[in-house]
Structure 1
Amino acid sequence: MDHEQAFVLLPGYLDQELSLSESLEFERHLADCERCQRAYAQQREVSMQLKQADLRVDAPADLARRIKAALPGQPSRWQRLVERFGWRSGGGSWNWAPVGAMAMSVVALTWSVGLYLSVPSSETRLTDELVNSHIRSLQFDHLSDVISTDKHTVKPWFDGKLDYAPPVVDLAQQGYPLIGGRLDYLDGRPVAVMVYRYKLHPINLYVWPGNDAGATPRIGERQGYHFVHWSANGMNYWAITDAGDAELNGFIADLRAHPAS
């Protein structure tokens, strides 16, 4: 995939309208292309900012007064009612065209409001990204780029591939052995993924810099997968697995109790 193809697919990827194969092809290009990563981050930021309520600016009082003074005199309520519903004073008949136009305007406004309210929040979009990434790693047998149970092998593997050093914790004694790590793309940037296992259940742990998730872990469920996210020591953590919430709670407790995390 070249830049031109990636730019064409970018809006559809942001809106989660691409097929699975298109998404995978786009993400492969995105992982190795700084130019497209910047374009993706910029468009994602613009999309998030447009949803913020503080974009509205109240007009200065003086400007409002001058605009109001420049307007023609206000008609009476009866005149406004007659004009709105199209009464023709000469022929004494109704003109139904304005009524139809008004009805169409109401329908259009209702549809626009519904469309705006249906736009997912940034956290919902991030959760969708997480679940899709987890499913892809299972479907395409791509859990790990580096396969190792040794944190001293997994942690150095990320050197030079990311602009930060992710903490890598060994939890084998607690029943959650480390089995490897990989690079992925989440929240508009490359991220580190440490892969653990509970019995036959893989656990993907995504880690990247930031303090957006809050200090207290919040557990949820989507499409049969349990996920949780929190922040600590300047890092965001998201974990997801098909194991039960009790097993995920145990993993979180052991991970957070480790001094390296």
Structure 2
Amino acid sequence: MMEHSEIQQLLPAYVDRELGIVDTLAVDRHLETCLACRREIEEQRSAGMRIREKAPYFSAPPALHAQVVTGLPSSRMPRTSPLARRSWWPQTAAALTVALAAALAWGVGEYRMARSPQQILTDELVASHIRSLQVDHLTDLVSSDQHTVKPWFNGKLPFAPPVIDLAAQGYPLIGGRLDYLAGQNVAVLVYRRHRHPINVTIWPGKDLPTRPQMTDRQGYHLVRWSAGGMNFSAVSDLGENELMQFVALLHT
């Protein structure tokens, strides 16, 4: 989970709707219980409205507009003339402003396009985990019996996800649900370690490393791997060691 100080740093971008889905959901979740941040959001929004409503805007009088246009250099004017030197900077500044705006827009677009498929997948997996906690929708089927959970997916998915009972090892199965990831329906098995839910997403493929790899995102640990023709992802706020122990049990 993100700290209060981290959320505060995201509030201006949240007000301007500039955050990605993972950060937006993290802020939404924090605002449910943090009165101080909710007040800060309202103050920032009110300040923005006051600025937009009361900021002075001026239009150039026709005489000034004509004078500026008349003062622009023509193609026949010597470059060393005083008028050329006086008018060079405003024109250049305007051109630089346009160029800078275009460069910034291009840079943002390039940054978004430069995100690798694995980075996008990581964001989607963590967002799915957060949504399941926010709307209290961890499971579509509540059951600790692997022989009940496994056949529940029949007819709902074009593949059969492996379901393993790890209750004896301290990671009881609590159910399963359907989700949508990377343009396809996927299976999610939900386990629990003490009070910490673990979302295990499963879908066909060999896109991930065979050796489990851990990534941290928005205060959650995410471990991904491939085995037996399936891709696996485990997401939880559980401690690193316990989560890797759980993954090792699934991976064997």
Match of residue 199 from structure 1? 194
Give 1:108 shift: 2.8
SS of 1:88 mapped into structure 2:
coil
Q: Give the 3 Å change call, closer, same or farther, for CA 106–90 of structure 1 in structure 2.
A: closer
State which of 107, 121, 129 in structure 2 corresponds to 1:126.
121
Deviates more, 1:243-252 or 1:146-155: 146-155
- Structure 1 partner of 2:7: none
Q: Given the alignment of the two structures, is residue 179 of structure 1 paired with residue 174 of structure 2, yes or no?
A: yes
How is 1:75-86 mapped onto 2 (pairs within 5 angstroms)? none
2:136 to 95, 119, 141: 141
TM-score, normalisation: structure 1: 0.61
Distance, in Å, in 2 between the alignment partners of 1:189 and 1:247 is: 30
1:234 matched to 2:229? The reply is yes
TM-score where L is the length of structure 2: 0.63
Distance 2:157 2:136 in 1: 23
The code of the aligned residue for 1:213 comes to L
Distance 1:140 1:155 in 2: 24
The CA distance in 2 between the partners of 1:242 and 1:216, in whole Å, is 21
Deviation, 1:171, is 1.4
Q: State the shift of 1:91 in Å.
A: 8.7
Instruction: Give yes or no for the alignment of 1:115 onto 2:92.
Output: no
Unaligned runs of 5+ in 1: 1-11, 21-85
Quote the offset at 1:133 in angstroms. 1.4
Structure-to-structure mapping, 1:140-159, within 5 angstroms: 140-159=135-154
Q: Percent of pairs identical after alignment?
A: 51
- Counterpart in the other structure of 1:217: 212
What is the deviation of 1:207? Answer: 0.2
Amino acid in structure 1 at the alignment position of 2:145: D
Q: Kindly tell me: are residues 99 and 87 of structure 1, through their superposed partners in 2, closer, same or farther at Cα, counting changes over 3 Å?
A: farther
Count of aligned pairs between the two proteins = 179
Q: Per-residue displacement from partner, 1:193-221 (whole Å, max 9, x unpaired)?
A: 01111122111100001122222211122
* CA RMSD across the alignment: 2.7
Q: Deviations over 1:172-213 (max 9, x none)?
A: 222211111110112221110011111221111000011222
Provide the rounded CA distance (Å) in 2 between the counterparts of 1:136 and 1:109.
36
Distance 1:199 1:90 in 2: 78
Q: Give distance in 2, aligned partners of 1:143 and 1:90.
A: 72
Q: State yes or no: 1:89 paired with 2:78.
A: yes
Q: Would the aligned equivalents of 2:21 and 2:127 in 1 still touch at CA under 8 Å?
A: no
Give the alignment partner of residue 102 of structure 1, picking from 95, 114, 120: 95
Using CA pairs below 8 Å that are at least 6 residues apart, which structure has the higher relative contact order? 2
> Does 2:161 correspond to 1:166?
yes
* CA offsets 1:110-140 (integer angstroms, 9 cap, x no match): 2134212431433222222222211221222
Query: Which structure 2 residue ranges, 5 or more long, are not aligned?
Result: 1-16, 26-74
After superposition, the Cα gap between the structure-2 partners of 1:87 and 1:100, relative to the gap in structure 1 and judged at 3 Å, is farther
Q: Amino acid of the residue matched to residue 241 of structure 1?
A: S
Give the drift of 1:98: 5.2
Amino acid corresponding to residue 136 of structure 2 in structure 1: D
Displacement of 1:150: 1.4
Cα shift at 1:105: 4.2
Tell me, in whole angstroms, the C-alpha distance in 1 between the residues paired with 2:189 and 2:76.
Answer: 71
Give the 3 Å change call, closer, same or farther, for CA 134–87 of structure 1 in structure 2: farther
One-letter identity of the residue aligned with 2:78: S
